[in-house]
Amino acid sequence: MTEYGFDTLQIHAGARPDPATGARQTPIYQTTAYVFRDADHAAALFNLQEVGYIYSRLTNPTVAALQERVATLEGGAGAVCCSSGHAAQIMALFPLMMPGDNVVVSTRLYGGSITQFSQTIKRFGWSATFIDFDDTDAVKAAIDDRTKAVFCESISNPGGYLTDIPAMAAIADAAGIPLIVDNTLATPYLCKPIEMGATLVVHSMTKYLTGNGTVTGGVVVDSGNFNWSASDKFPSLSQPEPAYHGLKFHETFGNLAFTFHGIAIGLRDLGMTLNPQAAHYTMLGIETLSLRMQRHVENAVKVAAWLENDERVDYVTYAGLPSSPYAARAAALYPKGVGALFTFAVKGGYEACVKLVDTVQIFSHVANLGDTRSLIIHSASTTHRQLTPEQQDAAGAGASVVRLSIGLEDPDDLIRDLDQALSVATA
């Protein structure tokens, strides 16, 4: 369906009338297992000789429809859905990494991702090197013989900084390793990392793709463009797999090698499965993705411009403002807008920020983003609390900074709410 426009694809990709009932909306296949036609059919499925459904930890028709939709919107060859955005990041690295390997990652990441990369992946024997991705020479210098990927966010959480994806893709390509881009904040409506050279795209579908704050979910989209057999760096994909009688994933499945590995090995052994009801809610959300993102961006531009001109505010990080150091990059790489997440610094520091989040009335004080509702949080005391002050500052989540996720309400109402809260916070 790739010849159709985005608005058509977000509704129809992956969705077909149910063959059993004719139901037009994709049903929720709330089942654990599937009956095999016969013993030969079962054997073929378990040998990866035939595509089908075995057990819902691996594959499910509702989840499969969502995978096809997201892969289509991102311009990928295939996708694997899983239980959360953090699960998607592990799923993306799992086929690439061996003990002793490392990944080069941006310093401008969501706080939970910084913790995952700096602490949790050590338990797999992996490590991460954090680099300011605006310094391309430093990124190149950080890559060594054990580096298996470069990882960044297209639009970073919490500061809304923009990554020069083509530049990062060129560096990764020259090193013979994949570029992984977390496209959660941009969504494929605002940014297409694969078209800019990314190998893999991950999402926390919990956020804008679902858009209504009801379920968690993650996805890994494979571009299908990487030659996993070009070197011996990725044996899980290029060498014989003992669990499948010596099958070589890249040789057997070609541009779908990473996707098949994610299902047959990743979901089989890690078990980070997306449930079908969550997949259903996410598909419903995606049907209105372009409409929502347009409104999110319009509202964010208006609120950010008001904040920038308010004397109680030190600065605003929104890249959609003409004053932003990322304005030129935004125009070149993100012409439809730069999302609806950004931070601003409150005069009065930590205590003023705490008062602000306690005083707003429309904004919800929650640890989430990408909702239809506008959300607010003080990252330094919550999502980035485990980081050092230096790490908080590097991530754009310092003590005087508040993060906003601008929703779909009337923007004038949002401005009035922030106005009254700032009056209390800075009194």
Report pLDDT for 380: 79
Residues of the chain with CATH 3.90.1150.10: 290-425
Of 74, 11, 64, residue with least CA distance to 274: 64
CA pair distance 81, 91, nearest whole angstrom: 9
Report pLDDT for 19: 85
Q: Which amino acid is at 122?
A: K
Contact 78, 256 (CB under 8 A): yes
99-115: burial string, b at 16+ Cβ within 10 Å, e else: eebbbbbbbbbbbbbbb
Report pLDDT for 384: 67
Digit-coded pLDDT (tens) for 345-377: 999 888 899 999 999 999 999 989 999 999 999
Digit-coded pLDDT (tens) for 251-266: 999 999 999 999 999 9
CA pair distance 220, 200, nearest whole angstrom: 7
Residues of the chain with CATH 3.40.640.10: 6-285
Q: What is the dihedral of CA 149, 338, 138, 315, to 10 degrees?
A: -140
DSSP string, 246-301: TB-HHHHHGGGHHHHHIIIIIIHHH--PPPHHHHHHHHHHHTTHHHHHHHHHHHHH
Report pLDDT for 2: 59
Architecture of domain 6-285: 3-Layer(aba) Sandwich (3.40)
CA pair distance 105, 176, nearest whole angstrom: 16
pLDDT < 50 positions in the chain:
none
Report pLDDT for 152: 98
Kindly give the residue spans of alpha helices, DSSP state H, lying in 13-51.
39-46
Report pLDDT for 124: 96
Q: 290-425 in CATH: which number?
A: 3.90.1150.10
Report pLDDT for 250: 98
Report pLDDT for 159: 83
Q: Which residues pair with 241 in a beta bridge?
A: 247
Q: Quote the tokens at residue 87.
A: 């699960």
Of 237, 228, 230, 226, residue with least CA distance to 264: 237
Instruction: Determine phi and psi for 106, rounding to 5 degrees.
Output: -70, 145
